[in-house]
Amino acid sequence: MPLNMSLEEQIGQVLVAGFPGPTPSPEIIDLIQRHHVGNIILFSRNIQNAQQLRRLTSELQRIAREAGHRHPLLIGIDQENGSVRRLGSDATIFPGNMALGAIGSEQMAYKIASAGGHELLELGVNLNFAPVVDVNNNPANPVIGNRSFGEDPQQVARLGSSAVKGWQDAGVIACLKHFPGHGDTAVDSHLALPILPYALQRLEEVELVPFQSGIAAGAAMIMSAHISFPAITHDEALPATLSPAILRGLLRDQLGFKGVIISDCLEMKAISEGVGIARGSVLALLAGIDLVLISHLYERQRAGINAIKAALDSGELPHELLQQAVERVIQLKQRYLSWEDQTPPQAHLQWVGNVAHQQLSEQAYALSTTLVRNQQGLIPLQLQSKQRLAIVYPVKQAWTEVADRKLAIDDLVQQVQQRHANVSVHPFKVQSDDLQDLLNQVREADIVLAITVNANLDPQQTALMQALVQSGQPVIGLAVHNPYDLIAFPQLGTYLASYEYTPPALTAAVHVIFGEREAQGHLPVSLPGIS
């Protein structure tokens, strides 16, 4: 047995578990103490502010150490930046991947990741489930979109590799995701199993390019995707997470990856409504997964542990396979973690949200804003004091399964009102509001600033934008998430992309709209049918 570990300790080292609340729950304490679970995932539900997070990670490590764990816990988080981030507003808000793709600078991608890594490590988070290196070449992709650096495999490879080096040079383990590529899907694997119908040659030319580059850059971890690739597996119902041909054959043997392979969360419906979570835990390890991720429910985490133990007892899961997975996890911990390096919870925070990081972030956002079209010369916006500006924006509970932040519309309105007093604001409830009623409200405005969020995937927003364009009023379109919205209303003559609806991204867009800065970003994706 590796490092003289009991069977229970070994099983605990290959499980990653999440829990609710800002303090260690009785369930997570039980998993760490009795079941030797060695790895934790945190979400926004666990985080109130920086000081509380620092206390939480310290407390989790203390529980593990006192329970006799030989190595510290891996504590991971999805801090992709941009739309998908878990830290609160006291940490620096950095631009996400597509905004960095609009800048196109490897140096900037490195600096942002390095700065973010220093903040995470100071908060006791030693693993970041980032960067996303999916090549987003499908405008209808409902789950990746602006989480990707763009549609060019070479650019995604360059920026992804720079981000890997940035995170890991700061001492945080980086994780390439979602292998072998989630960029060309029109289905969200949180909700169903996407199928990619391509031959291996196409994967080698597109999807695999950034993974090869990230491996060469030293990425310590790769996350699998719950996506079907029948050209490799010969089975449409088999997700990559459960496929030996993809994980052992393609990733280990062909691409030569020697690090840790983690599954995406087994509670996503592509697995939970397929083979199920308990069975999925066993099949994942058999396929070549080293870390089985079960993010939410204690019963499911226990079921996964029990299923793995039963499969070992029956001989279905060879002990040797489990040992190999444990050895890879322990080697990773030995490289990045030690009990001596655990920062005390009362330590002063010198990295989190510091002035240098705020300045870096502002600089990056200023470089990313992209003016896609300005056919009528509406930007820079020059209004007389009597002229009326109407702001229209969509209201919806959540935009994707992973983006956990709301549209910061109040920030945007406030910024606009500081520059022009005569402003009216018109929320548009995407599912329910009467379109004609809204059009009547804004008819008297001299110009309309229309905010859109993934409008190309939303018939109601599309109908609203088409009606505004046809009304003949001057309209500035501001896409604050994916930049593909213009595809749905190609007649719009003025169109700006901020790539995300974080407060600093919206601030940067306002600077451009009012002519205080020139837009410097370049679209990292193409808009089919748009000149």
pLDDT in tens, 261-320: 999 999 998 888 889 999 999 999 999 999 999 999 999 999 999 999 999 999 999 999
Q: Which of 416, 407, 385, 387 is nearest to 452 (CA)?
A: 407
CA distance 232 to 181: 13
What is the CATH classification number for the domain harbouring 259?
A: 3.20.20.300
Query: Is 411 among the domain residues?
Result: yes
Among 49-53, 329-333, 379-383, 453-457, the least confident range = 453-457
| SS3 annotation, 5-18 | CCHHHHHHHCEEEC
The residue range of the domain holding 480 is 369-513
Residues 329 and 462 placed together within one structural domain of the fold: no
Tell me the C-alpha distance between 148 and 131, whole Å. 9
Q: Is the pLDDT of residue 396 over 60?
A: yes
Structure confidence at residue 402 as a pLDDT band (50, 70, 90): low
With a cut of 60, say whether residue 397 has pLDDT above it: no
Q: Do 337 and 376 reside in the same domain of the chain?
A: no
Residue 7 lies in a domain: no
**Distances in whole angstroms, Cα of residue 21 to Cα of each of 25, 53, 124, 127, 474:** 7, 11, 17, 20, 48
In a shared domain, residues 336 and 386: no
Judge whether 355 lies within some domain. no
Q: Is residue 4 part of a domain?
A: no
In a domain, 170, yes or no: yes
Query: What does the pLDDT look like over 497-530, one tens digit per residue?
Result: 999 999 999 999 999 999 999 999 999 999 998 8
Over 60: is that where the pLDDT of 2 sits? no
CATH of the domain at 453: 3.40.50.1700
pLDDT at position 142 is: 75
Give the separation between CA 214 and CA 221, rounded to whole angstroms. Answer: 10
Better-scored residue on pLDDT, 88 or 173: 173
Do 231 and 373 share a domain, yes or no?
A: no
Residues 327 and 411 in one domain: no
pLDDT at 91: 97
Boundary (domain end) residue, out of 291, 326, 341: 341
- What kind and span of H or E run contains 176? strand 173-179
What's the pLDDT at 87?
93
pLDDT in tens, 311-322: 999 999 999 999
190 an active-site residue? yes
- Pair 217, 302 in one domain: yes
User: For the sheet containing 260-262, what is the strand order?
Assistant: 260-262, 221-224, 173-179, 127-128, 74-77, 39-42, 15-17, 292-294
Catalytic residue among 190, 296, 420, 426: 190
- 63-84: average pLDDT: 97
Structure-block tokens of residue 522: 């370049």
Claim to verify: residue 104 and residue 155 sit in the same structural domain: yes
* Helix 26-33, helix 50-66: angle, nearest 10: 40
Under DSSP, is residue 291 helix (H, G, I), strand (E, B) or coil?
A: strand
108 and 189 in a single domain? The answer is yes
Which one is catalytic: 264, 290, 458, 485? 264
What does the DSSP 8-state code read for residue 221? E
Asked if 191 and 118 sit in the same domain, the reply is: yes
Question: Does one domain contain both 329 and 380?
Answer: no
Whether residue 528 is contained in a domain is answered as no
- Residue 398 reports pLDDT greater than 80: no
Q: What's the mean per-residue pLDDT of the chain?
A: 94
Per-residue pLDDT band at 162 (split at 50, 70, 90): very high
CA–CA dist 126, 92 (Å, integer): 17
Q: How far apart are CA 483 and CA 530, in angstroms?
A: 12
pLDDT band at 192; cut points 50, 70, 90? confident
Domain membership of residue 5 (yes or no) is no
For residues 121 and 199, membership in a common domain is answered with yes
Residue 274 covered by a domain: yes
pLDDT value at position 345?
A: 76
Q: In this predicted structure, what is the pLDDT of residue 432?
A: 61
Q: What is the pTM of this model?
A: 0.95
Q: How many domains does the chain have?
A: 2
